């Protein structure tokens, strides 16, 4: 009997130990699973919304921080309200002095994804292809375990238009909707074949009852939302590159009608008083289609409509992040490849060092680490983007960059950040080069005398202060710093600018 009791006791002890061991192992497994999920959650997502040929003046978050005459160059009150893009700025940071590395599509885009000046990317001019041996921030994130996707205009794969069969994805592993280039306002989707349509063609087909026609901004946003839905439970990097508000300046309804009666007027810099005194770099060549003599109010009203449509689509994306509990853990960036002159100095589009062409919108939100309502007035170029974003994401950065990691400016608790940093941008090929900080801009052109602009006193860049005695030291400082930067980054303009001396 005693033997049986001892036996039963031993069995009970054994079973009890097994029970607690299993329970312990279960808890341990649960702990590691939760830790793994938590670790994945801690990895911030990245969402970049990138537009084309977009004037910073058309975003109301910029309008609110500028004097009235700068916010409303097309007449008092004549502009767009962009509450969703404003939300990114209000809940994060807005950069007031952010510039394109070169104010043209291809070179600017190449700099954004590589952190290099255009001359080092293989794509210093429009229609060229990015070098495949140059690393991008997307490749770094893909190697770090991120699901990387690109939707929209790429313009880093030659001159083709409306092609989606891009072989080299530059680290964006899902590039099904990466488009070579083109600015048709509508697509027809027929058995998954995408056909570009002009405005009249699309309207005619729609009036005939065809249902498979979509506005391009809406189409690319739809595809972005599909990708976000697919990847929302893993670390993701998605770049949406909307081809608008680029020419041909075609908005869809109801956006066409929103600004139909707005009494827009020509910027004062279209006056002969200013256009006749323009420097050579502001005039363009003999066949320059961007230099115009007549103001077109309907084109501007359509431009406003395109911007409003973009903003509403940004709102759709922000709502998705809110609805899926992704807002706090997702870095959202809104920016552009270059600006749009839109009749300032009687010019359209881009390619010149004027603020409206070269200065670009840049707002960023990261609730976990960027204090809301931050205003940054230090000068950056989009060469700084790649090293900065990788640092903000705490990703080991193997990228060899020309740009500077400026993340400390975004991560500080200061509501306003300023600084006297001088940076530079250029029109590749040595046509002109420009040194800039938040107060001044020096432009050197091989066909023009040096121009020094006081951006505080003369924000519309109508006066040359280079030869004013009060600006002698500033001119000398900027010229010296520009020489240093061009030499450091092997800028082609170094060989063509006769005014630079050590």
Q: Which residue has the higher pLDDT, 54 or 293?
A: 54
The predicted pLDDT at position 192 comes to: 81
Strand pairing report for 147-153 and 174-179: parallel
421: left (phi over 0), alpha (psi -120 to 50) or beta: beta
Residues 366-405 have pLDDT tens digits of 999 999 999 999 999 999 999 999 999 999 878 899 999 9
**C-alpha closest to that of 360 among 266, 311, 425:** 425
Q: Is this model's pTM higher than 0.85 or not?
A: yes
23 Cβ contact list (under 8 Å, min separation 6): none
| Chain centroid offset of residue 167 CA | 23
The predicted pLDDT at position 29 comes to: 46
251 secondary structure, DSSP code: P
Domain map of the chain by residue range? Answer: 43-184+216-423
Please state, as a whole number, how many other Cβ atoms lie within 10 Å of the Cβ of residue 322.
10
For residue 153, what are the β-bridge partners? 179
Residues 248-306 have pLDDT tens digits of 999 999 999 999 999 999 999 999 988 888 998 998 655 567 777 899 999 999 999 99
pLDDT band per the 50, 70, 90 thresholds, residue 9? low
Stretch 71-93: mean pLDDT: 97
Give the number of C-alpha atoms closer than 13 A to the C-alpha of residue 337, restricted to the C-beta side.
28
Report d(CA 54, CA 186) in Å as an integer: 19
For a pLDDT cut of 70, what percent of the chain falls above it?
89
| Chain centroid offset of residue 343 CA | 23
Report d(CA 180, CA 493) in Å as an integer: 28
pLDDT band per the 50, 70, 90 thresholds, residue 1? very low
The predicted pLDDT at position 331 comes to: 98
The predicted pLDDT at position 99 comes to: 98
The predicted pLDDT at position 176 comes to: 97
**pLDDT beyond 80 at 40:** no
- 128-136's contacts with Cβ under 8 Å and 24+ in sequence apart are 128/156, 128/158, 129/156, 129/157, 129/158, 129/168, 130/156, 130/157, 130/168, 130/170, 132/168, 132/170, 135/171, 135/398, 135/399, 135/400, 136/170, 136/171, 136/386, 136/399
The predicted pLDDT at position 17 comes to: 57
If 0-12 CB within 10 Å is exposed, 13-18 middle and 19+ buried, where does residue 351 land? buried
**pLDDT beyond 90 at 325:** yes
**C-alpha closest to that of 126 among 142, 114, 110:** 110
Q: Is 43-184+216-423 a domain of CATH 3.40.50.1110?
A: no
Residues 209-221 have pLDDT tens digits of 888 999 999 999 9
Report d(CA 322, CA 328) in Å as an integer: 9
Residues 425-452 have pLDDT tens digits of 999 867 899 999 999 999 999 888 999 9
**pLDDT beyond 80 at 31:** no
The predicted pLDDT at position 15 comes to: 46
In 147-280, where does DSSP find H-type helix? 199-207, 216-231, 255-258, 272-275
359: left (phi over 0), alpha (psi -120 to 50) or beta: beta
């Amino acid at each position: 009997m005693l033997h049986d009791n001892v036996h039963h006791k031993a069995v009970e002890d054994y079973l009890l130990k097994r029970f607690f061991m299993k329970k312990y192992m279960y808890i341990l497994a649960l702990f590691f699973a939760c830790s793994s999920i938590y670790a994945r959650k801690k990895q911030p997502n990245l969402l970049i919304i990138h537009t084309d040929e977009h004037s910073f003046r058309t975003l109301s978050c910029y309008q609110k921080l500028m004097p009235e005459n700068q916010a409303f160059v097309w007449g008092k009150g004549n502009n767009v309200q962009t509450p969703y893009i404003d939300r990114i700025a209000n809940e994060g940071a807005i950069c007031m002095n952010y510039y394109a590395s070169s104010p043209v599509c291809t070179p600017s885009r190449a700099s954004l994804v590589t952190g290099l000046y255009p001359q080092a990317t293989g794509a210093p001019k429009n229609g060229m292809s990015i070098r495949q041996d140059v690393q991008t921030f997307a490749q770094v994130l893909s190697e770090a375990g991120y699901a990387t996707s690109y939707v929209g205009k790429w313009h880093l794969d030659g001159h083709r238009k409306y092609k989606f069969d891009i072989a080299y994805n530059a680290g964006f592993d899902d590039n099904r909707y990466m488009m070579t280039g083109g600015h048709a306002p509508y697509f027809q989707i027929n058995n998954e074949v995408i056909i570009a349509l002009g405005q009249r063609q699309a309207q005619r087909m729609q009036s005939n009852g065809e249902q498979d026609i979509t506005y391009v901004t809406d189409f690319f946003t739809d595809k972005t939302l599909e990708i976000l839905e697919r990847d929302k439970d893993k670390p993701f990097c998605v770049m949406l590159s909307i081809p608008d508000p680029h020419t041909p300046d075609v908005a869809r309804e109801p956006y066409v009608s929103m600004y139909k009666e707005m009494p827009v007027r020509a910027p004062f810099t279209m006056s002969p008083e200013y256009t006749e005194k323009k420097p050579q770099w502001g005039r363009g060549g003999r066949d320059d289609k961007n230099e115009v003599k007549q103001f077109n109010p309907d084109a501007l009203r359509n431009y406003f409509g395109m911007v409003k449509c973009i903003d509403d689509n940004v709102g759709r994306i922000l709502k998705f992040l809110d609805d899926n509990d992704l807002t706090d853990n997702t870095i959202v960036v809104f920016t552009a490849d270059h600006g749009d002159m839109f009749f300032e100095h009687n010019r359209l589009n881009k390619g010149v060092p004027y603020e409206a062409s070269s200065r670009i919108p840049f707002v960023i939100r990261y609730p976990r680490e960027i204090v809301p309502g931050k205003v940054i007035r230090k000068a950056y170029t989009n060469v700084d983007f790649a090293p900065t974003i990788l640092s903000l994401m705490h990703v080991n950065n193997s990228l060899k960059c020309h740009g500077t990691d400026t993340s400390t400016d975004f991560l500080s608790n200061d509501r306003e950040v300023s600084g006297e940093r001088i940076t530079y941008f250029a029109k590749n090929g040595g046509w002109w080069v420009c040194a800039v900080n938040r107060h001044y801009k020096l432009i050197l052109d091989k066909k023009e005398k040096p121009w020094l602009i006081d951006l505080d006193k003369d924000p519309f860049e109508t006066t040359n202060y280079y030869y004013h005695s009060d600006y002698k030291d500033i001119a000398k400082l900027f010229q010296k710093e520009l020489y240093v930067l061009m030499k450091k980054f092997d800028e082609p303009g170094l060989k063509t600018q006769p005014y630079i001396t050590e």
